[in-house]
């Protein structure tokens, strides 16, 4: 059984949002009666606005990435459930300064549909809206909630690079172009050691035996590629990195950003051990880590496990990656 | 059974440190053959140096707090085990610029003894060393590993405020005085919903029934005050805050820093729900939150649960609290 520090299982997202706003009232605000959280001061004149969002349960995604040089707003859904069309639409209206809005959407059928419909509604009112679909998970082509690949932790890099571009005063077209370039340069894959439980359901989403792990798992516990005996960190690193490199070959001397993302319950100690294995494996192939990210960036409630994300860099992406941001959860090492 | 992403259970601290240095080579270095990690460039001229440390398994404590305006070095022990005298001594020698060194030690018998002996060794060589003992946990007076109260998440505020003072160019005496003032102004208390397992042992430290929580637990799973039925977040908030306020009464209008710290496995969603309850409970009593901290600051491997820390502020402590720091894990909201 999974125990939780909550009040009412049906109200977890509402109450989490109340907590977020109480904790961060100097920087954030909530649009009344919605699950939309924006920067305190929006719209920002002469800046393309960025919105992301999706089901809750992946914290700090996406509210933790609201800040200078990243997102202007996040639209939350219930746990593992897409945000509504109306709420995405309200977010667009709230952040648009006339410079346009770029939506960063993880590739889940419900998310894509609802962000898309909201964009159409906004466009009818003359707001320029573009959207970019993130599908970085190389594990499976189609999945429980997707047609095509799933969007997972690589989404954070799309927030960062497109956000940095917008901060420079770029046009909507230029911001979208950077977001798309990032999507084309980023790949991820994850592993689960244990399951998680949606509060309103209470039971775990799936079950793994005491000696098992699931390779290629999604961030909602959707099935991966295979279940196998839990191996040591070195073997896990290999099982996650090789499919990424098979999908996005990297030449000797290639520079990357490397993220080891914890799924929720996995201690930071283990993330660093996995990081070491991945870093060394890549170095042996002549691939150089330009910037490292180790921590919880895109979680699945209390799921045990981790994902690896590799972002292939060039000079343009590097400068956007290290541009200043005050989003509290975007920690670079 | 608790599954882990590791290679060799006996080598987890070594391998974690390798990962940390690979990930953060621009900012950190390790003293060869030791479990001491310091800023890349030490000693820093004309600055009092700060060292903290303790057993591993509490990440991001303490390595995550190395940075400008916080620690100069962290000395690691094996999991839940005190650092050695020799390694603390080597850390002192590495960071002292002649301006002196302040040791920030959590109140566990082994830690206190070993930091103290190392300080004596260094003093014999003419290094000025002071130490401050953090004992913020109001739950129990004596415990498995302590004489007197335990040091837990409140330690992070001691790092921050003493670190900010040192950054201003203050003397060792002034830095120690701020550290002691912080200790006298900070109180914490935690609750566990589930246990953790030391990698080299493999079994969980303790067991809680499916409907139980343990109030007043320590960060190594040491016994708390009582076990009781898991209540809702509102009740947990009350059970943690009231003993703190009983021990450190706060007047109407008092300003505080409020930390809700995750023990390891608890999702950020739940930390924000608990934050909301604590914030509202304090507001009802006229106590004002000046600055919020929600996240994992001082963990116990994959233990489920959270702790509350309250730091009573005045103008001096406020300005030190919000002073700039580049330590990646010191996230303010």
B109-149 confidence digits (pLDDT tens): 999 999 999 999 999 999 999 999 999 999 988 877 888 99
Section A249-264 average pLDDT? 98
Section A53-68 average pLDDT? 97
Q: Say if CB B105 and CB B120 are below 8 A apart.
A: no
Query: Is residue B58 among the annotated active site residues?
Result: yes
Section A5-33 average pLDDT? 97
Mean pLDDT of chain B, nearest integer: 96
Structure tokens at A30: 């909530």
A329: confidence class by pLDDT, cuts 50, 70, 90:
confident
Of how many residues is chain B composed? Answer: 333
Which sequence spans correspond to the domains of chain B?
Answer: 18-184, 186-321
Section B157-162 average pLDDT? 98
The residue written with tokens 């409020």 in the block is B258
Section A192-219 average pLDDT? 93
Q: Give the closest residue to B114 by CA, choosing from B58, B63, B54, B65.
A: B54
Query: Is residue A62 among the annotated active site residues?
Result: no
Section A172-177 average pLDDT? 98
Per annotation, catalytic residue among A62, A220, A279, A329: A220
User: What are the distances in angstroms from CA B6 to CA A208, A214, B238?
Assistant: 18, 16, 38
> Mutate which of A10, A23, A324 to disrupt the B interface (most B C-beta within 10 Å)?
A23
User: Least CB-CB distance to A22: which of B5, B22, B275?
Assistant: B275
Section B224-243 average pLDDT? 96
Task: Strands of chain A (E only): list them.
Answer: 28-30, 36-39, 49-56, 73-79, 101-106, 129-134, 186-194, 212-215, 226-229, 255-262, 288-295, 304-312
pLDDT at B333 over 70: no
Section A251-262 average pLDDT? 98
> Mutate which of B273, B280, B327 to disrupt the A interface (most A C-beta within 10 Å)?
B273
For the ranges A19-23, A201-205, A243-247, A265-269, the lowest mean pLDDT is seen at A201-205
Q: Using a CB-CB distance cutoff of 8 angstroms, which residues of chain B are in contact with residue A273? A: 5-7, 12, 15-16, 19
B202: confidence class by pLDDT, cuts 50, 70, 90:
confident
User: How far apart, in whole angstroms, are the C-alpha atoms of residue A28 and residue A41?
Assistant: 8
Structure tokens at A251: 């030449």
User: Least CB-CB distance to B16: which of A13, A27, A273?
Assistant: A273
Cα torsion angle, A84, A88, A93, A94, sign: positive
Structure tokens at A11: 């109200």
Q: Does B30 touch chain A (CB under 8 A)?
A: no
User: Closest residue of A to B268, CA-based?
Assistant: A59
Please determine, for the modelled complex, whether the ipTM score is greater than 0.90: yes
Cβ contact B16–A60 (<8 Å): no
| Residues ≥6 apart with Cβ < 8 Å to B150 | B106, B107, B108, B135, B136, B137, B139, B140, B143, B218, B219, B222
Q: Quick: pLDDT tens for A108-129.
A: 999 999 999 999 999 999 999 9
Q: What per-residue confidence (pLDDT) applies to A218?
A: 93
User: How far apart, in whole angstroms, are the C-alpha atoms of residue A318 and residue A279?
Assistant: 18
Q: Using a CB-CB distance cutoff of 8 angstroms, which residues of chain B are in contact with residue A193? A: 3-5
For the ranges A68-72, A171-175, A198-202, the lowest mean pLDDT is seen at A198-202
Mean pLDDT of chain A, nearest integer: 96
Cβ contact A275–B213 (<8 Å): no
User: Least CB-CB distance to B333: which of A210, A296, A328?
Assistant: A328
Q: Using a CB-CB distance cutoff of 8 angstroms, which residues of chain A are in contact with residue B301? A: 267, 269
Section B229-244 average pLDDT? 97
Q: Quick: pLDDT tens for A62-107.
A: 999 999 999 999 999 999 999 999 999 999 999 999 999 999 999 9
Residue spans of alpha helices (H) in B31-171: 85-95, 109-124, 155-167
Q: Does A210 touch chain B (CB under 8 A)?
A: yes
User: Least CB-CB distance to A18: which of B264, B267, B276?
Assistant: B276
HEC states along A207-274?
CCCCCEEEECCCCCCCCCCEEEECCCHHHHHHHHHHHHHHHCCCCCCCEEEEEEEECECCCHHHHHHH
User: Closest residue of A to B2, CA-based?
Assistant: A210
User: Least CB-CB distance to A7: which of B191, B273, B302?
Assistant: B273
pLDDT at A166 over 80: yes
pLDDT at B332 over 80: no
Q: Give the closest residue to A150 by CA, choosing from A207, A194, A195, A189.
A: A189
Q: Say if CB A161 and CB A317 are below 8 A apart.
A: yes
- A18-184 belongs to which CATH class? alpha beta
User: How far apart, in whole angstroms, are the C-alpha atoms of residue A268 and residue A284?
Assistant: 24
Report the percentage of chain A scoring pLDDT > 90. 92
Q: What per-residue confidence (pLDDT) applies to B142?
A: 80
Q: Quick: pLDDT tens for B32-75.
A: 999 999 999 999 999 999 999 999 999 999 999 999 999 999 99
Per annotation, catalytic residue among B159, B220, B279, B329: B220
User: How far apart, in whole angstroms, are the C-alpha atoms of residue A135 and residue B89?
Assistant: 50
User: How far apart, in whole angstroms, are the C-alpha atoms of residue B71 and residue B64?
Assistant: 9
* Termini Cα distance of chain A: 35
Q: Quick: pLDDT tens for A260-279.
A: 999 999 999 999 999 999 99
Structure tokens at A125: 């009112």
User: How far apart, in whole angstroms, are the C-alpha atoms of residue B184 and residue A299?
Assistant: 36
Instruction: Give Rg (Cα) of chain A.
Output: 19
Cβ contact B230–A6 (<8 Å): no
Cβ contact A7–B230 (<8 Å): no
Q: Does A273 touch chain B (CB under 8 A)?
A: yes
Residue spans of alpha helices (H) in chain B: 12-23, 85-95, 109-124, 155-167, 172-185, 233-247, 268-284, 315-321
Structure tokens at B194: 């589930």
Q: Say if CB A266 and CB A306 are below 8 A apart.
A: yes
Q: Which of residues 37-66 of B touch A (CB under 8 A)?
A: 56-57, 59-60, 64
Cβ contact B267–A213 (<8 Å): no
Structure tokens at A124: 């009818």
User: Closest residue of B to A191, CA-based?
Assistant: B5
User: Closest residue of A to B271, CA-based?
Assistant: A5
CB pairs under 8 A between A and B: 192
Q: Give the closest residue to B286 by CA, choosing from B238, B311, B251.
A: B251
Cβ contact B302–A56 (<8 Å): no
User: How far apart, in whole angstroms, are the C-alpha atoms of residue B325 and residue B212?
Assistant: 39
Exposure string over A259-273, b if 16+ CB within 10 A, otherwise e? bbbbbbbbbbbbbbb
Whether this model's pTM surpasses 0.95? yes
A14: confidence class by pLDDT, cuts 50, 70, 90:
very high
Cβ contact B331–A328 (<8 Å): yes
Q: Does A275 touch chain B (CB under 8 A)?
A: yes
User: What are the distances in angstroms from CA B295 to CA A9, A264, B62, B264?
Assistant: 21, 12, 15, 10
Residue spans of alpha helices (H) in B44-138: 85-95, 109-124
Sheet hosting strand B73-79, strand order edge to edge: B28-30, B36-39, B73-79, B49-56, B101-106, B129-134
User: What are the distances in angstroms from CA B142 to CA A261, B265, B328?
Assistant: 38, 27, 33
Section B177-192 average pLDDT? 98
Closest approach of A11 to chain B, Cα-based (Å): 10
Q: Does B304 touch chain A (CB under 8 A)?
A: yes
Q: Which CATH architecture has domain A186-321?
A: 2-Layer Sandwich (3.30)
Question: At B91, phi and psi to the nearest 5?
Answer: -65, -45
């Amino acid at each position: 059984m999974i125990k939780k520090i909550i009040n009412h299982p049906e109200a977890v997202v509402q109450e989490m949002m109340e907590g977020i706003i109480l904790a961060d009232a100097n920087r954030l605000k909530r649009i009344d009666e919605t699950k939309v959280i924006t920067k305190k001061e929006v719209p920002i004149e002469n800046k393309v606005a960025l919105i992301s969002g999706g089901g809750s349960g992946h914290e700090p995604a996406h509210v933790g990435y609201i800040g200078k040089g990243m997102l202007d707003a996040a639209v939350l859904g219930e746990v593992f459930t897409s945000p509504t069309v109306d709420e995405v639409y309200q977010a667009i209206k709230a952040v648009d300064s006339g410079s346009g809005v770029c939506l960063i959407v993880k590739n889940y059928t419900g998310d894509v549909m609802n962000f898309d419909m909201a964009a159409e509604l906004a466009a009818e009112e003359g707001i320029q809206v573009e959207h970019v679909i993130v599908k970085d998970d190389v594990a499976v082509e189609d999945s429980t909630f997707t047609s095509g690949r799933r969007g997972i932790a690589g989404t954070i890099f799309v927030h960062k690079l497109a956000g940095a571009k917008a901060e420079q005063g770029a046009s909507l077209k230029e911001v979208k172009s950077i977001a798309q370039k990032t999507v084309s340069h980023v790949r991820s894959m994850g592993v689960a050691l244990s399951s998680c439980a949606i509060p309103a359901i209470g039971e775990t989403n799936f079950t793994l035996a005491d000696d098992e792990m699931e390779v290629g798992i999604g961030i909602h516990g959707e099935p991966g590629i295979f279940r196998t005996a839990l191996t040591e960190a070195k073997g896990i690193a290999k099982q996650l990195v090789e499919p990424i490199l098979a999908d996005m070959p990297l030449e000797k001397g290639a520079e990357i950003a490397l993220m080891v993302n914890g799924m929720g319950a996995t201690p930071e100690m283990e993330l660093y051990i996995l990081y070491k294995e991945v870093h060394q494996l890549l170095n042996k192939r002549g691939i150089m880590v330009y910037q490292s990210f180790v921590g919880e960036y895109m979680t699945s409630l209390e799921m045990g496990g981790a994902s690896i994300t590799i972002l292939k860099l060039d000079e343009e992406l590097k400068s956007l990656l290290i541009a200043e941001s005050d989003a509290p959860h975007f920690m670079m090492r």
